[in-house]
Chains A and B, each alone.
Chain A
């Protein structure tokens, strides 16, 4: 049972335009959500997070939107840059009392073209 889904395996966007990456989840108990970026041969690096009690969090060119009623979140990158080309993973965190467990989506490969 895939609790976190990224239905688009790939996305191509022109440099300077907006990139929108989507993520859906099924478990309404998730406490917070994160986006990670992964380059080849490297581990995922943290990008941005959002608590389940908020609907928007912004950090520079990156904004995450959360729609709890739809169980949907999205990552907006604007303007997109060639260096943003990577695989983006959506993750959902569930508080288990101590450390939070993360459930990951399958990733979306973003290609920013010139």
Chain B
């Protein structure tokens, strides 16, 4: 149980275009989903926390107009990188929790590697 699917796993796009990444909880309802970014040889950095039906909470330094997050249902959250530039190239990974309890275990998707040309 507790499977999180992330799509696509790898995307290449031209500078200036927008890219949407989907994160789905397959066998549970995710009250909260998290979006992380990872640069090579660095740790996972939390970008934002998204709760179903409400606006995402962004971490300091993360541009909310650049990284649009939508959590329209209890099984789906999307991250849209708008007007992508080469510096946005990174590994993006989502996670989800079930009950919203503060000690809930986060279950991760496999991640999306974004390359902006």
Contact = CB atoms under 8 A, between A and B. Distances in A.
B62 to A, nearest CB: 13
A32 B103 contact: yes
B70 interface: no
B93 interface: yes
Interface residues of A, number: 30
B108 interface: yes
B105 A43 contact: no
Contacts of B106: 46, 102
Interface in A51-108: 51, 89, 93, 95-107
Nearest to B50: A99
A106 B109 contact: no
Nearest to A3: B43
Contacts of B109: 43
Contacts of B13: none
B110 interface: yes
Contacts of A98: 32, 51, 100, 102
Q: How large is the interface on B (under 10, 10 to 19, 20 to 34, 35 or more residues)?
A: 20 to 34
Given A4-B43, A43-B6, A96 B102 contact: yes
A99 B104 contact: yes
A9 B42 CA distance: 10
A8 to B, nearest CB: 13
A49 B49 contact: no
B44 A104 contact: yes
A58 B42 CA distance: 28
Contacts of B97: 99
B9 A99 contact: no
B41 to A, nearest CB: 7
B58 interface: no
A49 B105 contact: yes
Nearest to B59: A101
A46 B95 CA distance: 11
Given A89-B44, A93-B102, A98-B32, 6 more contacts: A99-B31, A99-B49, A99-B97, A99-B102, A100-B102, A106-B41
Interface of A: 2, 4, 9, 31-32, 34, 36, 41-46, 49, 51, 89, 93, 95-107
